[in-house]
Amino acid sequence: MSLAEFDLRGLGPGQAPSRDAVAPAAEADAVLVKGPVAALAAVLAVLHKAGRTALVPVSWEPADDTSSTGLARALGVGTGDVRELSLVRDDHGGVLLHHGRLEAAGEERRRLARRFGAQAHNDAVKVADGQITRIDVRPDWRQADTLGVVVMTLPLRPARRTSGRAVQIACDPARVVRDGVPYPRPVSRWTWYADDRVRWRLQP
């Protein structure tokens, strides 16, 4: 049994590993990932593209940043229990494990205070139709195939919270951040969904 080990603890904030760095996961019989959430997401994306998420057990030694420790706790890393988990994907080839955000494109300064036009549905429920500040999406690891969606229309105002299997967004040019890593260009459409046809195996 071949174990592919990926030591990606050197990744900085906002960084994802290169494709070459994680490509060997496609041929491995088992995988060990050391590093932040983005490292684990990149390896899972490779396994999914190879059609091997259900076959290859994945172990994770999380980094010590807040997102990694929070996700490790939600997944039950260190409990000794093998879990078959939902794979949350997007329509641009990525995997989401902890937190996705869609916000106004443009300069970093005051981005979270800027608004942009968007229409969004969480399953059959319309959750945005007009000017918003951002949309936050988090997989709910307590339930199968479930995403929590939070839409903020104005800073410091109550947000709209829903849950479901998928969120579909059409919007003015916007910036997407997946597990801390910005997508390289603005988007006007984006979908995150829990793919109920696919599972991945976490080996704590």
Per-residue pLDDT tens digits for 128-180: 999 999 999 999 999 999 999 999 998 878 999 999 999 999 999 999 999 99
Through-space distance between the first and last CA atoms of the chain, rounded to whole angstroms: 18
pLDDT of residue 40: 98
- Residues 18/188/109/94 CA torsion (nearest 10 deg): -20
pLDDT of residue 1: 66
Specify the residue for token string 């105002």. Answer: 157
Kind of pairing, strands 83-90 and 125-132? unpaired
Name residues of the chain where pLDDT drops below 70: 1, 108-112
Cβ(122)–Cβ(149) below 8 Å: yes
pTM: 0.93
In 3D, which of 199, 127, 118 has the Cα closest to residue 163?
127
